Amino acid sequence: MAEFKATVAFVVAALSASAVFSGISIRTLSQNSIFSLFIVIVIILVMVVVHLWNRKPRDLDSKKVKELEESLKSSLEKCAAERQGRIRAQQALRNALVQARPDNLELTSYPMAPIGTIQSCFSTRNGTPRQPLLVPLARACLVFNLSRVPPASLEGLEEYSHCWIIYVFHLNTDLEKLWKHPTKSKFKAKVRVPRLKGGRMGVFATRSPHRPCPIGLTVAKVEAVKGHMLQLSGVDLVDGTPVLDVKPYVPYCDSIQGANIPEWLTVDNLLVVASVSFSEGFTSTLADCWEIAGKKSLYSSADEFQNLIRQVLSWDIRSVSQRNQPHGFLMKTENSKALEKTSDSEDDRNEEACSHVTEEALSSGEIIYHLVVEGLDVSYKINCNGNVMVENVSLSSAILKEQSKAL
């Protein structure tokens, strides 16, 4: 089209030039002024035709633009109407949810599903710290579900030193009951508190995992963001924990100067052990186990792992009943009636997370406790003065199972 126009323009220019030239020559020759006038008229006609011909597509263009504008307008209107409809439907759904009768809790549900899962050094609840940041070496990796959360959602998170993590207490033994019959399963209003040596508190005055909604809140140190993975430390989360949300920790609004806590929480050293030492053979046995356990570990060396064990065991991670009655286990196994009487099992479960350390009684009456971390089973003793002796380490049954599968 443009080429064609250029050609026409060239032809017009050539005609004008020749016309002017011929007009001059005609005038100077003073032969035929009518012929000269005719040439000028022809040139004017050609110019008018070219002008009109040039205008036509421009009219077409503006017509097209008008059409497009109109179709855009109508589809915007359609969109707005759809949006209105959607908003109305959403409001109706919300109203229906809010108005769901209180005796039919199952219907009152919200669209919440885990956004990711924790891969933690703590293979079981046993030994998982009771609070965040107690064990700086406690590492975990939050692996986000890519079909729900694109990696771009993590952009900027690494600029914070800490973040909040909202998660599900998925290992609560009463979870299934709670979900099947939310109204029928009664939670205990009061729970035992380790720091109170078995004294009880209202569930909302504690961070017990056994609450009407089994949701946990913790804070962790942000180590790195790698693709769809968030590396954390100082965690008190057990492996496999489903995570509902992550939010940045913002000191100026998340930390309140001069906030009060009850006195029982200020007695902090209650749960600190006196010392942690390792048996003579521990380091070399660990080195052997590390050849296998170290392959998939969050820790780079057996040394670093040993430091983790020291940090974990520097807090008394036993349950209240284990601490109060270190020989309760013997009574339980020897006498099932004693089991009912002494272990008060409901209350033990209602204690703070994770606290039940597996124990094993030797014939000498000494108790060996087990802690499973990073797939290694660490055995230790603790005496009445709070001195911890780490006895031995072996591959956990989970790792052994994996090994035999691989072979």
Ligand X SMILES: *[C@@H]1O[C@H](CO)[C@@H](O)[C@H](O)[C@H]1NC(C)=O
Binding residues vs ligand X (CB under 6 A): 113, 145, 147-148, 281, 285, 392, 394
User: What are the residues facing 143 on neighbouring strands?
Assistant: 117, 229
Least distance in angstroms from the C-beta of 287 to ligand X: 11
Our CA angle for 149, 154, 156, nearest 5°, is 160
Token pair of 208, please?
A: 């017990």
CB nearer to ligand X: give 41 or 112.
Answer: 112
Least distance in angstroms from the C-beta of 221 to ligand X: 25
Question: d(Cα 198, Cα 318) in Å, to the nearest integer?
Answer: 12
CB nearer to ligand X: give 22 or 285.
Answer: 285
Least distance in angstroms from the C-beta of 386 to ligand X: 23
CB nearer to ligand X: give 307 or 394.
Answer: 394
Least distance in angstroms from the C-beta of 144 to ligand X: 9
In the complex, residue closest to ligand X by CB: 394
Token pair of 174, please?
A: 């009463």
CB nearer to ligand X: give 111 or 251.
Answer: 111
Question: d(Cα 357, Cα 239) in Å, to the nearest integer?
Answer: 16
CB nearer to ligand X: give 168 or 219.
Answer: 168
CB nearer to ligand X: give 233 or 392.
Answer: 392
Least distance in angstroms from the C-beta of 375 to ligand X: 13
Least distance in angstroms from the C-beta of 194 to ligand X: 30
Least distance in angstroms from the C-beta of 140 to ligand X: 16
Question: d(Cα 5, Cα 398) in Å, to the nearest integer?
Answer: 82
Least distance in angstroms from the C-beta of 309 to ligand X: 15
CB nearer to ligand X: give 145 or 314.
Answer: 145
CB nearer to ligand X: give 135 or 371.
Answer: 371
